[in-house]
Amino acid sequence: MSYFPRLKRTNEKKMDGISKKICRVSTIAVVVGICVHLINKHVIYNCPSLHKKTLVIGILSARDNFQQRQSLRNTWLQNMRNSRTQWTYTFIVGHNACDIHHQNRKTPYDCERILLKDFGHNWEFSLFSYISNSEVQQPSFVYNVSIRIHHPVIIKQLGLVAGVTLKQAPITVALYDEFREEVVIYAKFSESDEGHVKAGYRYQTVETVLLPEGFQGSLHVSGVSLEMTKLLRSHCSLDLSNNIISVTSLDSKNYPTQAKIINTTFLASMYLCVSEQDLYDMKRSQQQSLDDSYRNVLKNTAEKLEKEMEEYGDILLVDVIDVYRNLPQKLLKFHEWVNANFDADFAMKTDDDCFVDVKTIISELNTVRNQCKFWWGNFRHDWFVERFGKWAETTYRAQEYPAFACGSGNVVSKDISDWISRNSKDSFCYQGEDTSMGIWLSAIGPSYVDDSRWKCEKMCESNALVIPELSVDDIYLMWNNKLSCGDPCTCGDASRE
């Protein structure tokens, strides 16, 4: 019996019949016009009926994941030898490496450089200064900012821009720890307790707090009305952090904005001191040499990757920098490649740390009768949008994502894959490839086939279609168990993961 429920049929057949009648009675010019309309990139069409299905699998992989790729070739990818006409695969790898050493990047997930600057003999600094700029007649005001610490610092004071009037209720400046969701430190400013002015900001001394490297938080101002900023003209804020802190503007709902430092007034500031100063000097002095030595590593990786491609011919190099934040781009390039080179019924995405039961997936795909707008996976529903950390979403404004299949693996029908390919140049890439797929496909209303056998975490069950987050040894063990007794999770005295 097929696992899949009978999916709701569309009006495709009816529409095809109408189109044929029109074509028979129309001139060549009308026929051309109808055909142009039918291939409009926003239209979903071509839903084949029941037949032996074909599948293309794209496996997301990093450039230097040589052992991971080989472990898949030696295990579950061997199944392709017994069914060459039904499925094929490729590893999706970024053509370009990030040539910035990991220690010199703002985050481990992108390819943006931290260029640490010389503090000289003065290790204390203001996050912002407030300067006169005659070209700025109407600056934009930023009440809240997100910060990320790239080297340990000590907070000594919290500040409020000096031009804000204090004749009304007290104004509070507070620093929040976004991971713990709690206030770290705060200061109140009032007409009777204005603080002392420094670099255009009023500062209040607070209990010193050490912010470690990697700390992510937000600086908030409350109690300020637009009327209280009327004196803030012909001035703007200047970032004085020497790149030791990354600053992002937040709007009133704490969504990141595109506001730039130039022509912007940040209402809050901090006065800080660099901690572990010897370590900072060493890191700054080593930045160039680290990048130079890392480029030699990348050169060796590129040579090894080229040999691997020549030997196996199963790697698709796509024109992106190979970092985590670019996974959505890699996925789009995969669907472009499938659309240009195959007429497969389905396209599947997985990762190189996954164990996949291809035989069962193919067997069940062969039972699908209506594969129009078909999306099969383990879906996250009402998933909260994170603003900080590895999965920080800086552009999607809603509080929850549309339904999306978790990243370990999922299958879409040909019409969806073709639609993604045709719209790839216009598709905005969000923080992850899984959430991006959910947002993109919410526009067309896919037929979700929710199946818990596509595991989202490392959880071994005998009937699992995909198991993620595995080491190379895990994959070999599951394969040997599968061959020996038909169960990847346990065989004889072996215990389940």
Q: What confidence score (pLDDT) does residue 35 get? A: 37
pLDDT at 29 over 70: no
Pick the more confident residue, 397 or 449.
Answer: 449
Is 305 within 8 Å of 94 (Cβ atoms)? no
Q: List CB contacts of 255: < 8 A, sequence separation 6 or more.
A: 387, 397
Confidence of residue 233 (pLDDT cuts 50, 70, 90): low
Per-residue pLDDT of 311-333, as tens digits, reads 999 999 999 999 999 999 999 99
Split at pLDDT 50, 70, 90, the class of 284 is very high
Token digits of residue 457: 């975490």
Would you state the pLDDT for residue 135? 59
Residue 132: per-residue pLDDT: 63
In DSSP terms, 204 is beta-bridged to 158
Residues across the chain: 497
Which positions ≥6 away from 304 have C-beta within 8 Å? 66
How many other CB atoms sit within 10 Å of the CB of residue 316?
20
Burial (Cβ within 10 Å: 0-12, 13-18, ≥19) of residue 397 = exposed
| Strand pairing category for 346-351 and 55-60 | parallel
Residue 141 pLDDT level (bands cut at 50, 70, 90)? confident
41 band by pLDDT with thresholds 50, 70 and 90: low
Cα gap 450→454, rounded to integer Å? 9
* Average pLDDT rounded to a whole number, residues 370-388: 91
Is the pTM here over 0.85, yes or no? no
The per-residue pLDDT of the chain, averaged, comes to: 84
Confidence at 194, pLDDT banded by 50, 70, 90: confident
The DSSP string of 71-87 is: HHHTTGGGGGGG-TTTE
Residue 240 vs residue 207, higher pLDDT? 207
Checking if the pLDDT of 50 tops 70, the result is no
- Distance of alpha carbon 358 from alpha carbon 368, whole angstroms: 16
Residue 263 contacts by C-beta under 8 Å, 6 or more apart in sequence?
A: 133, 135, 136, 139, 140, 236
- For the chain, how far is it from start to end, CA to CA, in angstroms? 30
State the pLDDT at residue 223.
Answer: 84
pLDDT interval class at 242 (50, 70, 90):
confident
Q: List Cα–Cα distances, 488 to 357, 391, 409, in angstroms.
A: 10, 30, 17
Q: What pLDDT shows up at residue 235?
A: 52
Q: Do residues 141 and 265 touch, judged by C-beta distance below 8 A?
A: yes
**Distance between CA 293 and CA 131 in Å, rounded?**
41
Q: Which residue has the tokens 């067997």?
A: 363
Number of helices (H) and strands (E) in the chain: give both, helices first: 9, 25
- Phi, psi for 91 (deg, rounded to 5): -90, 130
Confidence of residue 39 (pLDDT cuts 50, 70, 90): very low
Q: Are 477 and 495 in contact (CB under 8 A)?
A: no
Within 10 A of 480 (CB to CB), how many other CB atoms are there?
Answer: 14
What is the per-residue pLDDT across 339-355, written as a single tens digit (0 to 9) for each? 999 999 999 999 999 99
Residue 477: in which H helix or E strand, if any? helix 472-485
Tell me if residue 36 falls in helix, strand or coil: helix
Predicted local distance difference test score (pLDDT) of residue 66: 98
Instruction: Give the residue, 229 or 21, on which the prediction is more confident.
Output: 229
Confidence of residue 447 (pLDDT cuts 50, 70, 90): very high
- pLDDT at residue 173, rounded to an integer: 95
Alpha-carbon distance values, 226 to 134, 202, 231 (Å): 21, 18, 10
Q: pLDDT class for 231, splitting at 50, 70, 90?
A: low
pLDDT tens for 87-102 read: 899 999 999 999 999 9
Residue 28 has pLDDT above 50, yes or no: no
Q: How confident is the model at residue 5 (pLDDT cuts 50, 70, 90)?
A: very low
